[in-house]
Chain A
Amino acid sequence: MQYEPTIGLEIHVQLSTASKMFSGAATAYGGTPNSQACAVDLGLPGVLPVINAEAVRMAILFGLAIDAEIAPRSVFARKNYFYPDLPKGYQISQFELPVVARGHLDIATEDGETIRIRITRAHLEEDAGKSLHEDFHGMTGIDLNRAGTPLLEVVTEPDLTCASDAVAYMRALHTLVRYLGICDGNMQEGSFRCDANVSVKPIGSTTLGTRAEIKNLNSFRFVERAINYEIERQVELLESGGKVVQETRLYDPDRDETRSMRSKEDAQDYRYFPDPDLLPLDISKVQIDAMRELLPELPRAREQRFEHTLGLHHADAVNLARDRAVADYLEATISAGGDPRSAANWILGEVFGAMNKDGMAISEIPVKSEMLAELLSAVSDGTISGKIAKEVFEAMWQGEGRAREIIERRGLRQVNDTGAIMAFVDQVIAANPEQVEQLKSGKDKVLGFLVGQIMKLSKGKANPQQVNELLRQCIFD
């Protein structure tokens, strides 16, 4: 019997609001434990939740970006269960009436096909706190700083059929939420967390198999490995006559396996009911239209425009469109006069290299887009060679000024004068008779050596194409 997998993903997107979903405490990561947990977050007697307007706006923006229905009226509901990181003994979430319903995200599979993943719903809820299990004399420590942080839970239909598509979807969603400015996407800090529902069924069957839920996957790599492991595990189980149990599992990256969680939610009855402290959330057409005006060009559209309109290679278009700030930088460079392909190469090469070395985000780098454009034009108009340009770039990065200033100050202008170059060529031919003979007798590699000598003599400033031409002329003509 051959089996095929069915996968659905539930991704918790932590919204990048300044304050919490239902209180005015700060959401910044990494504070002293419990320093950002106010009375409302702690569930003290008598406190009440109040909805964060920005979280609602972010949810609307997301819904529009995935072509979804924005509910004109949605309801916050209580999900009741006991756990120490859940201060009120219930989580405020949305159940029957979520704010966003029925959207989709188109993704590119490994084979380059485009498939549409249906998104069932996205709803607003609050995050729980954290349990620290290091030994406090056999006790567990609870930090409620994270309790109350706004989450948008995005749920797909079980439309995914392999781990790599699941990762592609996850990446596309990650890019999208960062594009929209609603989430910083920092997976190490827990801003973007994935639960995967995995089941297998006989090929061609229309009945879905029993699924297992793998919780809290916080890297693309782990998602792929965990899903693949789980598929294999379930197939083996079924093939040996066993049954898949509906349960929650955790992925152990050290052993590369999924394990059944000792249930904190065994046969849980969450007793959802509309939260009587919060009235229904009404969203008007006017509000939705206002948010629609704020939608940026979405990642996929931008990627396609980079490829088809700007003429970039597909892989480059993908890499440059992935981060909105980078894409903006590219387009600003082009607006300032840079050639698209050169700009693309420089950004992917020198700019990214320097950024990574110094650990900077593109918004922080010293070489602004107009400065890069100026450098690119100095290369394209022959003022300097590509190689010298790298030296100029480094100087710009160190804050020495703009491209043209540096070129003048350091005397880096390319030598284009044929006469001057001929002088260098003659000098090198005269100084290297052996190599000249070797070249004449067919050893092409020696050309490189001779060119190198000429470049050295000219302190790198001779126009390399001219050097090549003139050298050949002298030797072979």
Chain B
Amino acid sequence: MDNSSPDIEAIARLARLAIDPNDVPQYQDAMQRILALVAQMNAVDTAQIAPMGNPHDLGAALRADAVSERDNSAAFLALAPATENNLFLVPKVIE
């Protein structure tokens, strides 16, 4: 594990969050404390243990391939900040 402190600004970019430069030290500090807390996990050697995702170690449930949803676009589009011609609008995406 890399012990150097994480680059808050880089992580924030990945998460599409803006941290005010004045607040960066505070976030940095909180992050470091949390990572110190989390580092306590390393007190135990878990090399022989399998990770546990679901507490009951179950397998997936599947559903039959059937169309069960009708067109509800009017209701859903009504929730959106900007729409036109049944499309969700966002500021132009440049490719």
Q: Which residues of A contact B (CB under 8 A)?
A: 17-19, 23-26, 31-39, 42, 44, 50-56, 73, 76, 82-84, 131-133, 136, 138-144, 261-262, 264, 269, 271, 274, 276, 278-282
Please measure, in the bound complex, the distance between the C-alpha atom of A279 and the C-alpha atom of B84, giving whole angstroms: 38
Please measure, in the bound complex, the distance between the C-alpha atom of A76 and the C-alpha atom of B54, giving whole angstroms: 13
B45 at the interface (CB under 8 A from A): no
Please measure, in the bound complex, the distance between the C-alpha atom of A44 and the C-alpha atom of B58, giving whole angstroms: 26
B53 at the interface (CB under 8 A from A): yes
Q: Which residues of B contact A140 (CB under 8 A)?
A: 89-93
What's the nearest-Cβ distance from chain B to residue A287, in Å? 11
Please measure, in the bound complex, the distance between the C-alpha atom of A76 and the C-alpha atom of B62, giving whole angstroms: 13
Please measure, in the bound complex, the distance between the C-alpha atom of A35 and the C-alpha atom of B72, giving whole angstroms: 7
Q: Which residues of A contact B65 (CB under 8 A)?
A: 17-19, 52-55
Closest to A270 in B: B14
Known: A34-B88, A37-B76, A133-B92. A278 touches B69 (CB 8 A): no
What's the nearest-Cβ distance from chain A to residue B94, in Å? 6
Please measure, in the bound complex, the distance between the C-alpha atom of A19 and the C-alpha atom of B62, giving whole angstroms: 13
B86 touches A32 (CB 8 A): yes
B95 touches A143 (CB 8 A): no
Closest to A130 in B: B87
Q: Which residues of A contact B62 (CB under 8 A)?
A: 50-53, 56
B35 at the interface (CB under 8 A from A): no
Q: Which residues of A contact B16 (CB under 8 A)?
A: 82
Which label, helix, strand, loop or mixed, suits the secondary structure of the B interface? loop
B77 touches A34 (CB 8 A): yes
B69 touches A32 (CB 8 A): no
B87 touches A141 (CB 8 A): yes
B87 touches A33 (CB 8 A): yes
Q: Which residues of A contact B58 (CB under 8 A)?
A: 279
B63 touches A262 (CB 8 A): no
Q: Which of B64, B69, B79, B87 contacts A38 (CB 8 A)?
A: B69
B4 at the interface (CB under 8 A from A): no
B94 touches A262 (CB 8 A): yes
B59 at the interface (CB under 8 A from A): yes
Please measure, in the bound complex, the distance between the C-alpha atom of A44 and the C-alpha atom of B73, giving whole angstroms: 13
A34 touches B92 (CB 8 A): no
Please measure, in the bound complex, the distance between the C-alpha atom of A73 and the C-alpha atom of B72, giving whole angstroms: 36
Q: Which of B61, B64, B73, B91 contacts A138 (CB 8 A)?
A: B91
B87 touches A51 (CB 8 A): no
B89 touches A141 (CB 8 A): yes
B66 at the interface (CB under 8 A from A): yes
A144 touches B67 (CB 8 A): no
What's the nearest-Cβ distance from chain A to residue B16, in Å? 5
Q: Which of B73, B91, B93 contacts A32 (CB 8 A)?
A: B73
Please measure, in the bound complex, the distance between the C-alpha atom of A17 and the C-alpha atom of B60, giving whole angstroms: 19
Please measure, in the bound complex, the distance between the C-alpha atom of A34 and the C-alpha atom of B72, giving whole angstroms: 9
B90 touches A139 (CB 8 A): yes
8 A-B pairs with CB atoms under 8 Å apart are A26-B67, A32-B86, A33-B85, A37-B73, A54-B64, A136-B84, A141-B89, A262-B95
